[in-house]
Amino acid sequence: MMKSNYYCTVAGLPDITLDDTKLSFTIGDFKEELYPELTDKDRKLLNLFYLQFDNRNLLALIYSDNKEVSFDASGNYSSDQLEELVELIQNGEESVKGFPIYIVDFLVDFYAKKEEEVTNWEDRLAAGYFNYAMKSDNEFISSWYTFCLHLNNIQLALASRRHGISYIENLVGTTDVCEAIRKSNARDFGLTAELSYMSDLLKLDEMQDLVERERKTDLLKWEWMEENSFYDYFSIERLFVFLLKLEMIERWISLDKITGNQKFRAIIDSLKNDVQIPEEFKK
């Protein structure tokens, strides 16, 4: 099936400049302004990105104990929709339409086993989310979530090893890479030959400055996005990448004014060599 191309949309994306202390275009603006231009299929793909905020809202809701919940409007679902879903599940309804299956299954499991204190429900929801997103029929998006899952697990395992903390129960996912992390005692979990970025993660683990380590991790993610979407100039993949970058920069801007702005400018300095459109696309 032919992909939809968004020539005008991509060409009209706002520039993110070094002098900005506040972005003029946010991930919320993206949904409000650009979603109407997308096909239904492509909107569903980008919804995968926004589901992370629904996950946070859902966790806040189920742990609220009738207290006021801080709701992030960036998600796909309103507070009323999530509250109605929770109420349906609490009342025994296990087949609810209109929500990703991993969210429904999570809530069913949560209210059936809520008293099991050993269960890490946040990790359980994250595992469901990643598994759901990795099944996307879009190769780039599926690969992105697989990459993030492996990166997060490896960094968790390396940090835990360094501090002598057990980590097996906190790993998310059931891929071959996830199982290697669980079972291998090797420094690199036997993954250097399989994962091109494994050596980079080992170097990052040696860094003492936590903020700098996070910055370098974002650089690694940025480079992965560029490399794996190199030929996707005007497609939904390019818009997805822009959305990921926008979120990344928003997060750096939200840091402490002094430290945050310094680190934000540093990451942008490192990312200035953005992808260039080949000459054949300019003709």
Interacting residues of 212 by C-beta distance below 8 A, sequence separation 6+ = none
Taking 50 as the threshold, does the pLDDT of residue 278 lie above it? no
The reported pLDDT for the residue numbered 280 is: 44
Residue 147 is assigned to a structural domain of this protein: no
Residue 65 is assigned to a structural domain of this protein: yes
Taking 90 as the threshold, does the pLDDT of residue 117 lie above it? no
Smallest Cα–Cα separation from 224: which of 206, 205, 203, 248?
A: 248
Residue 247 is assigned to a structural domain of this protein: no
Taking 70 as the threshold, does the pLDDT of residue 210 lie above it? yes
Residue 130 is assigned to a structural domain of this protein: yes
| List of long-range contacts for 117-123, beta carbons under 8 Å, 24+ apart | 120/169, 120/170, 121/59, 121/62, 122/59, 123/170, 123/172
Q: Tens digit of pLDDT for each residue in 38-49?
A: 999 999 999 999
Cα–Cα distances (Å) from 51 to 56, 138, 139, 182, in that order, read 9, 16, 18, 27
Residue 167 is assigned to a structural domain of this protein: no
Domain boundaries, position 101: 38-135
Taking 80 as the threshold, does the pLDDT of residue 270 lie above it? no
* Higher local confidence (pLDDT), 178 or 93: 178
Alpha helices in 135-256 (DSSP H): 139-162, 176-183, 198-205, 210-228, 236-253
Smallest Cα–Cα separation from 154: which of 66, 146, 52, 69?
A: 146
The reported pLDDT for the residue numbered 249 is: 85
Residue 118 is assigned to a structural domain of this protein: yes
Taking 90 as the threshold, does the pLDDT of residue 23 lie above it? no
Q: How many domains does the chain have?
A: 1
Taking 50 as the threshold, does the pLDDT of residue 283 lie above it? no
Q: Which residue type does 52 have?
A: Q
Taking 90 as the threshold, does the pLDDT of residue 128 lie above it? yes
The reported pLDDT for the residue numbered 142 is: 97
When pLDDT is averaged across residues 202-231 and rounded to a whole number, the result is 90
When pLDDT is averaged across residues 196-215 and rounded to a whole number, the result is 93
Interacting residues of 168 by C-beta distance below 8 A, sequence separation 6+ = 182
The reported pLDDT for the residue numbered 266 is: 59
Taking 60 as the threshold, does the pLDDT of residue 3 lie above it? yes
The reported pLDDT for the residue numbered 205 is: 95
Q: What pTM was computed for the model?
A: 0.84
Q: Tens digit of pLDDT for each residue in 136-176?
A: 999 999 999 999 999 999 999 999 999 999 999 889 999 99
* Higher local confidence (pLDDT), 275 or 28: 28
Residue 227 is assigned to a structural domain of this protein: no
When pLDDT is averaged across residues 210-226 and rounded to a whole number, the result is 89
Residue 67 is assigned to a structural domain of this protein: yes
When pLDDT is averaged across residues 243-271 and rounded to a whole number, the result is 68
